[in-house]
Structure 1
Amino acid sequence: MVVVDLGEFAEEGFDPKRWINTALGSRHPQDTIDRFLSDLEESLRASADDISDALEKESADALRRVPLACRDVLRLRDDALALRSLVASILTTLKEAEGTSAESIAALARIDTVKQRMEAAYATLQDAAGLTQLSASVEDVFASGDLPRAAETLATMRHCLSAIGEVAEFANVRKQLEVLEDRLDEMVLPRLVDALSNRKVDAVQDLRRILIRIGRFNSLELQYTKMHIKPLKKLWEDFDSRQRASKLEVEKSGETMTSNSFSSWLPSFYDEILLYLEQEWKWCISAFPDDYKSLVPKLLVETMTELSASFISRVNLATGDVVPETKMLAKGVMDILSGDMSKSTKLQNKHLEALIELHNMTGTFARNIQHLFSESDLAVLLSTLKSIYSPYESFKVRYGQMERAILSSEISGIDIRGAVSRGVGAQGIELSETVRRMEESIPQIIVLLEAAVERCISFTAGSEADELMLALDDIMLQYISNLQDTLKSLRTVCGVDNDGAKKDAGLDRKEGARLVDVVSEEEEWSIVQGALQILTVADCLTSRTSVFEASLRATLARIGTSLSFSVFGSSLDKSHAVTTDENVELSLAGRAALDVAALHLTDVPEKAKKLFNLLEQSKDPRFHALPLTSQRVAAFSDTVNELVYDVLISKVRQRLSDVARLPIWSSVEEPSSLPLPSFSAYPQTYVTSVGEYLLTLPQQLEPLAEGISGNETSNEEAQFFATEWMFKVAEGATALFMEQLRGIHFITDRGAQQLSADIEYLSNVLSALSMPIPQFLSTFHTCLSTPRDQIRDLLRTDGGNQLDLPTAHLVCKIRRITLDQ
């Protein structure tokens, strides 16, 4: 019997014919089609019977279960209606109970308010009664000399007055209380001085509690600071005492003695201050366990505030001591910047180095103080460190001016004087020497700029980076301006100072002849070699400034990272957001960020904003740290290229200056009675001189190209450099020659023959240099070498395919050939 898959009959798009064909395809070859179809039909009929029986059975079962399901649904609906009614009844009961409860609660709240008012009124009456009693008995308390009891009495009176409020009947009591507090404060003062002087810890703590009880803790701070600031000021005044003693000793002995300098004395002063503060810190830990973290730092802040003006003056004089001229006049950096000195007195690097040295000493002291006061709040640390660095703030404000003055002075000492015209035969030497000075000055100026960056980091930690960038840019402009002036003097030495005005018209005939005759071939090439060396100056300046700008961007990036961290830390202590456990890490970060730059910038928000804008811009790869310098360097390179080109083309311009007016163009062959052989024309001297110069020029360029490329570039790039300049000069020579050809007014057949030979020679030179022959030149040569009677046919047959027709017409005009016939 055939097995039938009935699932295919339920598929969408079932095709009976295809199914039968498929079934026939699966029959055994030995089975006949009739028998196979009979078996298949029997299988289908049996399957249909089975399906019919199953369907009838399932239908009977379904009819039997439907009445039962209907009864269950009706019962569930009745239960749901009953439940809804019950819930509605419960909600109504709850609403009634809620209304009753709200009224009860409101009544209780009103009763509680009345009770509180009654209690407050009772307390106020008690306070008023007690205040009257205290006011009457306070004198007896003071007379007993019991200061703690007096403090407690005054504190109670203060509490009673605050509870009573502004009542006119007790106005006199308020005045009495203020007088009594001042009186108690005065009674405590001598005991406090004695306790502090003799280190009586218990007495100090008792007196502290008294002052705190009456709200006069600031009196304790004031007295503590006043008492301890005296020995600290005495340490500062010790320097003047030593100076006076040294002066008296010199006067008595009559010998020359070197007085102690402030820079050598300052570290010892800081050491003594630190030792004193360490002892106070240790004692205050036991005497003022709740206040020592702010009390001792405040002592240092007040001390530095008292010494600030004197400190600034001493620092200023100390910066002048390192230079004999300013030391003799007892003047310093600020005096020079203010114009109090003569114009000949310039700010020197030594002045700023002395200032940085003093600042570094102060920085060491500040780090020791930060370590000593590490338990103090960030706000306290911030104000303390600010006071330590405060004497240098006036110097930092003028940092940009200082750098400009120093760099200007140092640049004036670099030998980049202009060239001086010498006699014939010495121009090449003068040119070479001047170029050498220019090239040697570039690394010198970069070293000076790098030193300025180091000074800025050492002195300001980058807070004055914006002013430094402006100063460096200005100094570079000054330096490049000096280079430009030197280039102008080189034009005269190279003999091209007037070439720019005569490029179109050419040199005067006599002048050109004089130059050609006087200047030797060797001297010409020495000038060319010297001019080519100027390219190394431009290349060196471009590469060095580019590298320096890259290092500046890297420096700005480091400053930006450091300052971002520092300002973040400083903002923490301003917001006092470092007291909870979750901010412990932030507190540590802020504590580590109390550096010089952050301390300076916290008081100058506008400057900080300006600096951060600069640091943000420096992240852009297109950013120029020295924008004006970048433009001037490019302009300088263009000027150098122009000068070098003028020098390289100068000889060509001289040789070709009179080509259009040569007499040979209008010469006529003299008639002869005897037949003479015809000779081919040879190129003239002017064109052979130009050709030899062009062919020799690559040999002059290759050593320079290798020198400029160095080890950084390949030989291909060096060759490209030489080829580029070779093409530039050859194109210029060709343009000059074509311009002269356009200036010829008339040419005879003999002249045409000669000019054709000259053009052919120059074309051969250009081909040897792998230069394309301009169509103007090839047309000129073709039209000159063609006999007069064949010109018309030549133009007619060419039709502008190979020849430039305007140029051909120009040649015909010069040869006096009429084309209209």
Structure 2
Amino acid sequence: MDITSFSDENFDTKEWVNKILQNADVQDKKESYTMSLVMKLQLYVQQVNAALEDTSQQVFMSLPKILRDTKNLQQEALSLQEKMSVVKEEIRQIEEDTGSSIASIEKLDKVKHQLEVAKQGLHESDNWTVLVNDLEEIFDSKDIDNITKKIVGMQKSLKLLVNIEDYEERKEQLEGLKNRLEAIASPFIVQAFTSNNIDQSIVYSKIFSSIDRLPQLLKYYHKCQKDVLVKKWRYQLEIEQDEPITQLIHNYYDVLLSNWHTQSKWLNQVFPSQSSVDSLIDIYIDVFASLDPSPSECVDAAIKQQIDKLGFLHEIKVIIKQFGNNIIEVINNMGGKTGIKKEKLTSLLELIYSPLVVYVSNYSVYEQHVLTQKLSQIKCIKVELPDTIQALGLTIPSVINLARDAKKRCDEITENCGYCGLLKALRVFLTNYADQYRVALRQIDRNKRGSGEEDWTNFQLCFSLLQNTGDVLMNLQKLEKDLTLAVLNFNKKDDSFPVEFKYLMLNQTERKEYESLVKCVTEGTKLSLLDHVMNEFNKLCTDIHNVTYQVVFGPISGYLNSVSSSKTWVQFDDPSFMVDLPDYSFSPQEYITQIGQYLITLPQHLEPFLFRENPSLECALKASDPEYINIEDVEGALADVFLKIIARGTCQSYCDQILTIFELTPAASRQLAHDINYLGDILKDFNLNLTENLKQLMSLLKIPVDQYLQQSAGYTARYVATIRQMRNIKSSG
């Protein structure tokens, strides 16, 4: 029987009993099994009681011994305390009796130490004199090792003579001797450094370390390495003068990179206590500043001979960036990234990228030249006007691709540092492209027919040109989004490159302009990077729409010209003409029926353009007139707006023509009102109405002469007076 669960702090009696009795084997004999369990538990209780009794008896028997041991320990502690007090008192008494004697001993020891120092000083002073005399003889032999040993000995002597009166003089004397040693050793040092002789270089490193002149030796190394690398550049210019400058610079950068690897190992052996990365960066900074002619001058001379200047700059940029990345990688692999100052690394990278700075500043000029040249190769203007408009539509993908290619070039050549220049070049390029559309528009404007003649050919050409312009606008909107997204990504740091390119490829003025652009786009203060271009094409859409309106409205204008002509109304001057005829006796005159027939045929000419889905034309129309913006997205909505504009123009022109009529008889007045009403019926077929002005004129023309003064109240005073004079109605005065 397992009784371990009884020792559990959370023991539950009921749970334990239920668990025991749930055993399947005991379901049929629970009573006997229960009795057996009770007997076992009683037996366990008896065993526990017996164990407790034995343990209690043992503890009781051992208590007297524990008490005796405790009492003995207490007595020993009291005895120890008394002895400690006696010892403490003895120590105090000894200190009082021997205090003055110890002070005397300390004073004598101090005097002894001072005498020993004085003795050593006299010895070293005498040794200094001996070493100086010996050095004068050894200098003549130019034995560098012996001279070094003597100077090291003098250094040790000088450290012990720091308190003598002529210490400074002796210090200057020692520095002079070191200078003489350096002068003797310098030719050998230069030879060892120039030939990369490690053994000899290590010897001189130890010598200069021993005389505390290691920084001076590093200067020798710096100068030797600089001279070697500068001479290699000049030598390369001479032997590779027939090679392109790109290949020449690439080869020299390979030399520099190989030299870096070699010298880093050399430095770690010769100057193990110095940072090889720091030393090499200092050397390379000096080398790039000393190259004559500089890489910038070589690139400047070469680019003048290049036809594809941007292609040439791209080659130079690739070479420079590859070299810069290789240098960064080498530094990182040497563990020098965290050990050098960022300013020093930036200085080196600035010199490496310096050949590109002036060209990034003038990037807009180069990019504009390329884009203008590409645009001139795209033949947009043809002999026939329809061919010109068709050609313009076909050139849109090519023009947009040219703009995207320019964006890609800006990234590849300038790391987007020339973005401001790119935008300037794109504005000029796309504005020049817009001029091609204006040429076509001027051709349409010149080819318009005279007033009163239907001109459906030019009408179709206008809408085709408008559709092409809308296509350009849609593509420009996508391009502008891509340009904006690129600017928003400028602030994302590249952890693999320690310095932002704007500090390497832009001068201070250009950098401020660049940062201002990024700030404007990031903060949303500038909504469009191509605002000037977008405005230009929006205005172009407006101008094309106006010409389209003029083409469509031309016949209507011609028909309306007859309204102000007296010939139109002379037939109504016959006194026999019955004024009191009913309205159905009047029929619309020819001019207004011609207008009606023209308006009825207009939708079928609009159908190819405005009664089907046409995103490009929709974009152009919305840019041309605000009326197209807030319309329902249903088929024919754009056509309804266009018809509304034509109808409004017709009504306004009709009003203007009516107001120029000199005189109307009562019959002519009724006829004119009937003509206006006919136009209203035509417009109702298009779900349009007459304008309020034309309605007023129609109502004033219908008012009987004898009731005119009373019923004209509430109408526009100008219209009331004009119609009254036109109908020869006398005023009340």
2:517 corresponds to which of 611, 614, 617? 614
Displacement of 1:600 after TM fit? 0.8
What TM-score do the two structures reach when normalised by structure 1?
Answer: 0.62
**8 Å contact 2:208–2:217 — kept in the other structure?**
yes
In the alignment, structure 1 residue 307 sits paired with structure 2 residue 291: yes
1:742 corresponds to which of 633, 656, 659? 659
2:257 corresponds to which of 263, 271, 274? 274
**8 Å contact 1:151–1:213 — kept in the other structure?**
no
With over 3 angstroms needed to count, the CA separation of the structure-2 counterparts of 1:462 and 1:121, relative to structure 1, is: farther
RMSD between aligned alpha carbons?
Answer: 4.4
Displacement of 1:126 after TM fit? 8.5
Tell me the residue number matched to 1:423.
none
**8 Å contact 1:141–1:149 — kept in the other structure?**
no
Deviations 1:665-719 (A, max 9, x none): 243455789xxx9994443333233223322333333433346416999993562
Displacement of 1:731 after TM fit? 0.4
**8 Å contact 1:322–1:354 — kept in the other structure?**
yes
Counterpart CA distance in 2 for 1:529 and 1:708 is 15
1:138 corresponds to which of 112, 132, 151? 132
With over 3 angstroms needed to count, the CA separation of the structure-2 counterparts of 1:354 and 1:183, relative to structure 1, is: same
Deviations 1:429-482 (A, max 9, x none): 52x3444455455544433332332222212223333444444445555555x3
In the alignment, structure 1 residue 728 sits paired with structure 2 residue 631: no
2:217 corresponds to which of 217, 220, 227? 220
2:479 corresponds to which of 540, 545, 548? 548
2:442 corresponds to which of 472, 489, 493? 489
1:654 corresponds to which of 530, 542, 558? 558
Counterpart CA distance in 2 for 1:157 and 1:630 is 85
**Paired AA for residue 221 in structure 1:** L
**8 Å contact 1:403–1:471 — kept in the other structure?**
yes
With over 3 angstroms needed to count, the CA separation of the structure-2 counterparts of 1:668 and 1:645, relative to structure 1, is: closer
Tell me the residue number matched to 2:726.
814
**Paired AA for residue 620 in structure 1:** E
For 1:294-443, what aligned pairs fall within 5 Å after superposition? 294-307=278-291, 309-320=293-304, 322-323=306-307, 350-374=308-332, 375=334, 376=336, 377-379=339-341, 380-415=344-379, 429-430=384-385, 432-440=386-394, 442-443=396-397
Tell me the residue number matched to 1:24.
none
Deviations 1:412-437 (A, max 9, x none): 555566x99xxxxxxxx52x344445
Structure 1 unmatched ranges of 5 or more: 1-115, 245-258, 324-349, 421-428, 496-513, 566-588
Tell me the residue number matched to 1:179.
176
For 1:8-23, what aligned pairs fall within 5 Å after superposition? none
Counterpart CA distance in 2 for 1:240 and 1:634 is 55
Once the two structures are overlaid, the 10-residue window that deviates more, 754-763 or 465-474, is 465-474
With over 3 angstroms needed to count, the CA separation of the structure-2 counterparts of 1:614 and 1:786, relative to structure 1, is: closer
Displacement of 1:754 after TM fit? 3.6
Displacement of 1:279 after TM fit? 2.5
Counterpart CA distance in 2 for 1:641 and 1:808 is 35
1:761 corresponds to which of 661, 675, 678? 678
Once the two structures are overlaid, the 10-residue window that deviates more, 708-717 or 214-223, is 708-717
For 1:665-814, what aligned pairs fall within 5 Å after superposition? 665-668=569-572, 670=574, 680-705=585-610, 706=612, 708-709=614-615, 716=633, 719-784=636-701, 791-792=707-708, 796=711, 807=719, 810-814=722-726
With over 3 angstroms needed to count, the CA separation of the structure-2 counterparts of 1:437 and 1:214, relative to structure 1, is: farther
**8 Å contact 1:128–1:160 — kept in the other structure?**
no
Tell me the residue number matched to 1:49.
none
Displacement of 1:547 after TM fit? 1.9
Counterpart CA distance in 1 for 2:424 and 2:157 is 65
Displacement of 1:368 after TM fit? 1.9
Counterpart CA distance in 2 for 1:295 and 1:548 is 48
Counterpart CA distance in 2 for 1:609 and 1:710 is 38
With over 3 angstroms needed to count, the CA separation of the structure-2 counterparts of 1:216 and 1:688, relative to structure 1, is: farther
Percent identical among aligned pairs is: 20
2:415 corresponds to which of 461, 464, 467? 461
With over 3 angstroms needed to count, the CA separation of the structure-2 counterparts of 1:777 and 1:384, relative to structure 1, is: closer
**3-state SS, counterpart of residue 303 of structure 2:** helix
Tell me the residue number matched to 2:488.
557
With over 3 angstroms needed to count, the CA separation of the structure-2 counterparts of 1:147 and 1:646, relative to structure 1, is: farther
Displacement of 1:597 after TM fit? 0.3
**8 Å contact 1:205–1:287 — kept in the other structure?**
yes
**8 Å contact 2:665–2:727 — kept in the other structure?**
yes
**Paired AA for residue 657 in structure 1:** N
What TM-score do the two structures reach when normalised by structure 2?
Answer: 0.69
Tell me the residue number matched to 1:515.
450
With over 3 angstroms needed to count, the CA separation of the structure-2 counterparts of 1:260 and 1:771, relative to structure 1, is: same
Deviations 1:129-164 (A, max 9, x none): 967964773352364432432553575588689x66
**8 Å contact 2:549–2:646 — kept in the other structure?**
yes
Counterpart CA distance in 2 for 1:775 and 1:195 is 104
With over 3 angstroms needed to count, the CA separation of the structure-2 counterparts of 1:238 and 1:188, relative to structure 1, is: closer
**8 Å contact 1:385–1:599 — kept in the other structure?**
no
Deviations 1:106-148 (A, max 9, x none): xxxxxxxxxx9xx999999998996796477335236443243
**Paired AA for residue 191 in structure 1:** F
**Paired AA for residue 528 in structure 1:** F
**8 Å contact 1:665–1:750 — kept in the other structure?**
no
Counterpart CA distance in 2 for 1:704 and 1:213 is 94
Displacement of 1:525 after TM fit? 0.8
Counterpart CA distance in 2 for 1:632 and 1:120 is 97
Structure 2 unmatched ranges of 5 or more: 1-109, 620-630
With over 3 angstroms needed to count, the CA separation of the structure-2 counterparts of 1:371 and 1:494, relative to structure 1, is: same
Displacement of 1:352 after TM fit? 1.1
Deviations 1:58-114 (A, max 9, x none): xxxxxxxxxxxxxxxxxxxxxxxxxxxxxxxxxxxxxxxxxxxxxxxxxxxxxxxxx
**8 Å contact 2:431–2:536 — kept in the other structure?**
yes
With over 3 angstroms needed to count, the CA separation of the structure-2 counterparts of 1:316 and 1:745, relative to structure 1, is: same
With over 3 angstroms needed to count, the CA separation of the structure-2 counterparts of 1:776 and 1:489, relative to structure 1, is: closer
In the alignment, structure 1 residue 625 sits paired with structure 2 residue 625: no
**8 Å contact 2:572–2:667 — kept in the other structure?**
yes
Once the two structures are overlaid, the 10-residue window that deviates more, 360-369 or 442-451, is 442-451
With over 3 angstroms needed to count, the CA separation of the structure-2 counterparts of 1:359 and 1:128, relative to structure 1, is: farther
Displacement of 1:738 after TM fit? 0.9
Counterpart CA distance in 2 for 1:657 and 1:711 is 32
Deviations 1:154-202 (A, max 9, x none): 75588689x669x8x6665565444333222222323323443565545
**8 Å contact 1:263–1:358 — kept in the other structure?**
yes
1:447 corresponds to which of 398, 401, 421? 401
With over 3 angstroms needed to count, the CA separation of the structure-2 counterparts of 1:275 and 1:764, relative to structure 1, is: same
**Paired AA for residue 206 in structure 2:** R
**3-state SS, counterpart of residue 633 of structure 2:** helix
With over 3 angstroms needed to count, the CA separation of the structure-2 counterparts of 1:669 and 1:654, relative to structure 1, is: closer
Displacement of 1:767 after TM fit? 1.0
Counterpart CA distance in 2 for 1:174 and 1:637 is 89
With over 3 angstroms needed to count, the CA separation of the structure-2 counterparts of 1:298 and 1:764, relative to structure 1, is: same
**8 Å contact 1:414–1:441 — kept in the other structure?**
yes
